[in-house]
Structure 1
């Protein structure tokens, strides 16, 4: 029987981003006199999967509710020109260029100064740079062209990393950890084990660093002598259908047997 326990306490979901103590403090004032945005300059993404781009911003004046703000994402322009701007995300779908329709969504809450973007079904030409634009009806609009993100796509998914002891001991509880990083926290990779015997699996979701997340699966088991030299495989299946795996061979040290001999003399 396999018992799976998910631990989401460490997982920071995609629209609750805080890049660092510095950035948290940077965006905390209720009143701002400048237009500023904080976006990762570069981020990697697996083709066919999705990528989440953390983004925060601030604007002049007091903070406003989401209902009074409109957030858009567009391809970078050297010079601002609304007539030639190519949008990849907009409330008006007709504004979005065909290659990005139905593939983008805003995960952040604009009223919380969060402009986090998701791009699904990543393609090898989704390079960018992509910039955020905020529009405030009856006030002002601004494109953050100095803080844009470029995407580097790759076709082969990362292999899971296995962490384990060189030797296990018969009858003594042991663990093997499988972990993989990714850029798609809204559609996390699924980790599975080939181990067929009784065990417990604990899963952790971690915010590894800005723009990179991690799924970790811990396999707990009690090794038996018959398990020696068994292959154990951890497979990571990513959103979009791609997968990768890593394998290790279990080494089990048998319990030592003792035989007591009693002799008697006449």
Structure 2
């Protein structure tokens, strides 16, 4: 097999290692994460039949562009350079090479390569799959329901965004002609482990709110995103008519 050496000019992640039976890796080829949020990259690997992983096995994730160590299980050899944002979450001796990114930054956009090091002579860089991570802008939130409102009848609308990060609650702001003081924010955890952050706004529309805009603004420390709807108010049963 071929051993890669760290180079200050970056790692040649296109170079092929010798194909050896049993050395395989399973991980997503592409991952997208919103700026300021987090993502977990699941990963599993195997070694050849003549090798057995020991408790001393070390896992290392390199970036392909800069060649820096993004995450490792050996902090003594590879000190953290990400202020704890990259964490190697998998157990290498069990064939788990998963890692996570929190507070994602534009500079995290890169291709990543996993390297295994165990007792001599086991040194192997897996190039079969090199996850490509893209950091994108905050997604536009959803506002619902969008049905026609009845004048003088209290109504609650919800603004929601999906995330993977507990403890990183965004700030919600509502803007519009209706009363925007009655709001309540909360979070919901789904069965797949993802979170949705929500803000409810309760108001009583009047005929003058018909065809006006209601905007929900979602903000974290790296930026904001907003969505607007046009209120449709049914005034037929209103005392104004």
The answer to whether the 8 A contact 2:26-2:45 is kept is: no
Paired position in structure 2 for 1:12:
none
**Matching residue of 1:95:** 78
The match for 2:231 among 250, 256, 263 is 250
**TM-score for the superposition, normalised by structure 2:** 0.62
221-230 or 68-77: which moved more? 221-230
2:165 maps to: 185
Contact preservation (8 Å) 1:72, 1:133: yes
Q: Secondary structure at the match of 2:158?
A: strand
After superposition, give the CA deviation of every residue in 1:147-174 in whole Å (9 maximum; x if it has no partner): 11122334x4322122323311246564
TM superposition shift of 1:216: 4.7
Quote the residue 1:196 is aligned against.
180
Corresponding residue number in structure 1 for 2:143: 162
The equivalent of 1:219 in structure 2 is 200
Name the count of aligned residue pairs. Answer: 210
The answer on whether the counterparts of 2:154 and 2:205 sit within 8 Å (CA) in structure 1 is: no
**Higher fraction of helix:** 1
The unaligned stretches of length 5 or more in structure 1 are 1-32, 78-84, 259-266
Aligned to 1:232: 214
State whether residues 45 and 51 of structure 1, in contact with CA within 8 Å, keep that contact through their aligned partners in structure 2. yes
Distance (Å, rounded) in 1 between the aligned partners of 2:64 and 2:88 = 18
Query: What residue in structure 1 maps to residue 44 of structure 2?
Result: 57
**8 Å contact from structure 2 (residues 150, 235) kept in 1:** yes
Sort the Cα spacing of 1:138 and 1:246 in 2 relative to 1 into closer, same or farther, 3 A. same
Mapped partners of 1:59, 1:218: distance in 2: 45
State yes or no: 1:38 paired with 2:22.
no
Question: What is the CA–CA distance in structure 2 between the aligned matches of 1:125 and 1:200, rounded to whole Å?
Answer: 34
Which of 109, 116, 129 pairs up with 2:98? Answer: 116
Q: TM-score, normalised by structure 1?
A: 0.58
Asked if structure 1 preserves the Cα contact closer than 8 Å seen for 2:53 and 2:118, the reply is no
Query: Residues 227 and 122 from structure 1, CA distance in 2 versus in 1: closer, same or farther, beyond 3 angstroms?
Result: same
Q: Which of 157, 160, 164 is the equivalent residue of 1:176?
A: 157
**Aligned counterparts of 2:31 and 2:142: Cα–Cα separation in 1:** 21
C-alpha RMSD of the superposition: 4.2
Partners in 2 of 1:187 and 1:37 — Cα distance?
A: 31
Q: Tell me if 1:241 matches 2:222.
A: yes
CA distance, structure 2, for counterparts of residue 110 and residue 73 of structure 1: 12
8 Å contact from structure 1 (residues 76, 128) kept in 2:
yes
Once the two structures are TM-superposed, the CA of residue 57 in structure 1 deviates from its matched residue by: 0.8
Q: Which runs of 5+ in 2 are unaligned?
A: 1-20
C-alpha displacement at 1:128, in angstroms? 2.7
Is residue 142 from structure 1 mapped to residue 124 from structure 2 by the alignment?
yes
